């Protein structure tokens, strides 16, 4: 899968940073969802598998165990895996 890279000018980067900063300054912190760090690593592993076409089931299983230990629900894990909670639990519990 080839992805075209577009280089941004310094002004474009600054404008983008200002837009992102404006967004975060306009929203109260309590409105941001908080997820366990383990979900971040699981998302990275799933995205890597999508790009490379190679899914490391042992690694993903370990990351799911970490996410579950940190309080992640099967619904949330299923969302990251793009499957149903029942299928995720059946495969990884």
Higher-scoring residue by pLDDT: 5, 27 = 27
How far apart are the C-alpha atoms of 90 and 78, rounded to whole Å? 11
pLDDT of residue 91: 94
What is this structure's pTM?
A: 0.63
How far apart are the C-alpha atoms of 75 and 93, rounded to whole Å? 13
Q: Among 14-23, 24-33, 70-79, whose mean pLDDT is lowest? A: 24-33
pLDDT of residue 60: 93
Show me where the domains of the chain are located: 37-92
Crossing angle of helices 74-81 and 37-52, rounded to 10°: 30
């Amino acid at each position: 899968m080839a992805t075209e890279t577009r280089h941004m000018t310094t002004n474009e980067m600054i404008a983008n940073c200002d837009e992102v900063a404006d967004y975060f300054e306009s929203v109260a912190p309590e409105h941001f969802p908080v997820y366990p760090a383990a979900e971040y690593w699981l998302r990275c592993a799933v995205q890597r598998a999508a790009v490379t076409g190679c899914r490391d089931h042992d690694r993903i299983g370990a990351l799911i165990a970490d996410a579950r230990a940190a309080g992640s629900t099967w619904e949330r894990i299923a969302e990251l895996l793009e499957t149903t909670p029942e299928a995720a639990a059946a495969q990884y519990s």
